[in-house]
Structure 1
């Protein structure tokens, strides 16, 4: 089977799965419709970009629509960035300012206007044949690389901040969604790095190498789409958002240092800490798997800002870890109880506020250096 046939087959499979996933995202009933729509837009733009091998079978030579289709690549990464924004922040909405993300796409097409879009078919063909010497295409590829670096740096910075905000204000296990999204972004970054290598060969003395790399890119892309589809179908509740108005504790401390506002006294902090610990022991709010710092604030009458500073700064723990400490202690009590030796680890993790075995095992091992099962076995052996 030659390269062209492989390219067409792989392209056809990728297009089918991408279209299926885009259709699923646009039609599934969910409260996260904007996130789904943005990722569907990313997929649709990607579909148009990778469809070139199939389009070439039914077209003769370069065309304005063909060039426009190829420049749609400049909309892929912005669409993905907006998707990540919508996943991270529950109050994210598309605004007029987001039109600025269209700027690279518009600039590139303006550059191509005089010597491609506005000329006859013969001139278009000459433009493509001599693409290695065309400054417009070279500038286009340079802009794509700049866009790639800028947007993916922005995405990783956004994910890092969002995960930290989540840990400082929430105690659910949905922090795993940020870990997965970080992995997904890393894989996409690797894909676009391969695209850059392909483009380098395209303008070198070995353009045929770029064609083989294109086959590899399509296969890799197919794997990524299937991976996302698997996650979307098996974990529909994976993603949960945080409020973008929340501030990192480091930013709050910085603001207080730069302002003339009176800081909370040591005695007030001690009173609030005693009040907080008493509430945690007596009311056991940590048993709620979806507990947030706002919930604790409402129950203790300690302002969220003060509570955040108390836990994240004064105690040196994220709210996420602070709550998990109590959950693990509660789990240890149950594991030590001879009357509950028949209660399974799975039952225990749900009882103490976790809703994932992997997150429970990870947290338990972090605080005890043992898995729950080994911890229980160790207790049983010591009693014999």
Structure 2
């Protein structure tokens, strides 16, 4: 059986997907989200191979693979949704309720089980009328799967939108990178989904032109696989960094500021103010402690700094620290930390000890993790690009 150019491209991309899945499965950190994405890569690769060989000759030789392409897509939506949820979660753990998302897969498996249990001869008899079997591929089962995809991808996008504001208030740069990557990823998935649904119904209703693109639209899946692979290599922090969240005893990255007993409230009083405005006196103390700590310890140089880690280092609850930032300083956590980083970049640019550093090297020393983020933040806060600022600073007065 000779392979067409399209089949070669699809199979090659699918093999790349399997390799990427192995990479994701073996990451030692951020395991749950990486493994869920790895499972998506495996399923997409298997489905791509089945679509690339979607012809009578192939299925007559391997009849037990027929209708497998009906079952695999029932896992796409749930896995993508769970991947999104675990990636943006503070404490990504598998919950018992997560198994409920696989109910469509179980129900469809039970529905298809009578066919799967048939003998090879019985399946070949059915496939002998291949035109009818192809027509069945565009029947109610796969129409319902399209609805399932739309529901789950929409839920993933909605969850991401809700997460965006929390990122600004609680996380520093790495989580911002993840947020942008996830936005791009879900946008690509959404484009693929919309095009797939349009081509599905165009083929179902024999609409000329668009219906002829069936199988070719899986080239988009290959693009998605290679794009994820590129991101894994160019920005490994997206996949290798520990999930951000409350620091554990083993994860403490910052020295703890000693806190005199007189500076804090009693446990009972702290609980009283946990969900209300801080008293002015305590808010003043927290603000002074925060600003002194930022100046003396320079925690913003930690590229993965989170509000949870900073609050723990200050012996202040995350809730109270967030109140100080928002109410007293008028900043979200992301902007507050990046203001210090930009100021540190300016200082280091004039420090002779760093004269041999590139601008990007200095940005990394100051706590920035990404060139794109550094350029955008620096331009937003100074009105100049880093290169423009360096050029003006170098001119003699």
Give the TM-score range, shorter chain: 0.7 to 0.9
Q: Is the 8 A contact 2:15 2:45 kept in 1?
A: no
Instruction: Show CA shifts across 1:142-167 (max 9, x none).
Output: 32222122111221223233443333
Instruction: Show CA shifts across 1:256-281 (max 9, x none).
Output: xxx99653223432332233223322
For the pair 1:49 / 2:47, whether they are aligned, the reply is yes
| Corresponding position of 1:243 | 245
| Corresponding position of 2:256 | none
| Corresponding position of 1:36 | 34
CA apart distance, 1:109: 4.4
Q: TM-score with structure 2 length normalisation?
A: 0.78
Call closer, same or farther: CA 1:311–1:97 in 2, change over 3 Å. same
For the pair 1:16 / 2:18, whether they are aligned, the reply is no
Q: Is the 8 A contact 1:14 1:218 kept in 2?
A: no
Call closer, same or farther: CA 1:288–1:64 in 2, change over 3 Å. closer
CA apart distance, 1:118: 7.3
Stretches of structure 2 that go unaligned for 5 or more consecutive residues are: 248-272
Give the number of equivalent residue pairs: 364
Q: Is the 8 A contact 1:169 1:293 kept in 2?
A: yes
Instruction: Show CA shifts across 1:151-197 (max 9, x none).
Output: 11221223233443333223244421220121011111111111101
CA apart distance, 1:225: 0.9
Q: Please tell me the root mean square deviation across aligned C-alpha atoms, in Å.
A: 3.5
Q: Is the 8 A contact 2:174 2:237 kept in 1?
A: no
| Corresponding position of 1:171 | 172
Name the SS of the counterpart of 2:82 in structure 1: helix
Name the SS of the counterpart of 2:277 in structure 1: coil
For the pair 1:93 / 2:93, whether they are aligned, the reply is yes
Aligned counterpart in structure 2 of residue 299 of structure 1, from 305, 313, 319: 313
Stretches of structure 1 that go unaligned for 5 or more consecutive residues are: 246-258
Q: Is the 8 A contact 2:325 2:333 kept in 1?
A: yes
CA apart distance, 1:336: 5.0
Q: Separation in 1 of the partners of 2:41 and 2:14?
A: 9
Call closer, same or farther: CA 1:211–1:95 in 2, change over 3 Å. farther
Q: Is the 8 A contact 1:312 1:318 kept in 2?
A: yes
Call closer, same or farther: CA 1:355–1:263 in 2, change over 3 Å. closer
User: Equivalent residues in 2 for 1:275-286 (5 A)?
Assistant: 275-286=289-300
Name the SS of the counterpart of 1:160 in structure 2: helix
